[in-house]
Amino acid sequence: MRVSRNEMIAALSRAYEGAGHHIGDYEDAAQLVTWSHMCGLGGFDRIALPPVGPKGGATPRLVFENDDIAVIDAGGADVCEHGSLAAHLAFSKAQKAGFAIVELSSCRYPDLILRSLSLVAQQGIFISAYWTDQTGSHGASFESGAIFPHYWRVEKTDVAKECSTVTIMCTTQPALLADAVTRQAEQPGMKRLEVSAAQLAVNYNDALELGIAVPADHWDALNAAAWPILVPSDQHSRAGAGPS
């Protein structure tokens, strides 16, 4: 079956709200998951259903910070909870120092940070991120002003971890970012997948025009995850609702 972008965002928002995420957080989570899924990088098919409840508390823990570096402990939370904060902190530091590195440690679903990075890149700065999860090592690099990144993955079947560390690099100087990207990409002998920014744009626009392909059972599970926020149909809930 196919659903629209708005339908996907609405269903995910209800599911994350049902899991206990706060107002604002569940909308952000829905946007991040939908954006990644429409790009063809997975999203909806990777999260747990029903979604995992919030773990990071109201604020993450700042482990270390100076003018151009920061380390944030997400406490096992989804990247949806603190990814935007980490991306905007990197942006703020890079604007002042020219180059910044922010690490977001102990986070789940690190790949979902890409939309947060896209919003930063569109403000006119170069930004990239690297992480390792159960499927291997990943990287994404945005040109200044870009909506979509160049993405790569190096498969490593021996990796088994529930939480990851996302390293974000942000700079006003493209040469510094290009050098960092080259060093991260040098892993000879490993099976490598690359997807260009142009291809991600095609994937996104196709999903926008044709609808997002979703297995019917997954869609049913997503909608069922919203049950905690639904009002039960009983006499008390119908009080004041008008004639039946």
Torsion of CA 129, 197, 3, 114, to 10 degrees: 10
- In tens, the pLDDT along 130-170 reads 998 888 889 999 999 999 999 998 877 655 677 899 999 99
| Domains in the chain, CATH or no CATH each | 2-230 (3.30.1370)
Does residue 226 register a pLDDT over 90? no
- In tens, the pLDDT along 59-100 reads 678 999 999 999 999 888 888 788 899 999 999 999 999 999
Report in angstroms the alpha-carbon separations of 55 from 3, 52, 78.
30, 8, 8
Does residue 205 register a pLDDT over 70? yes
CA distance 138 to 187: 12
Q: What are phi and psi of 70, to 5 degrees?
A: -150, 145
Tell me the average pLDDT of the chain.
83
12 near 29, Cβ under 8 Å? yes
Neighbouring residues of 157: CB distance < 8 A, sequence distance ≥ 6: 136
Q: Classify residue 192 by its DSSP letter.
A: E
Predicted TM-score (pTM) of the model is: 0.85
155 near 193, Cβ under 8 Å? yes
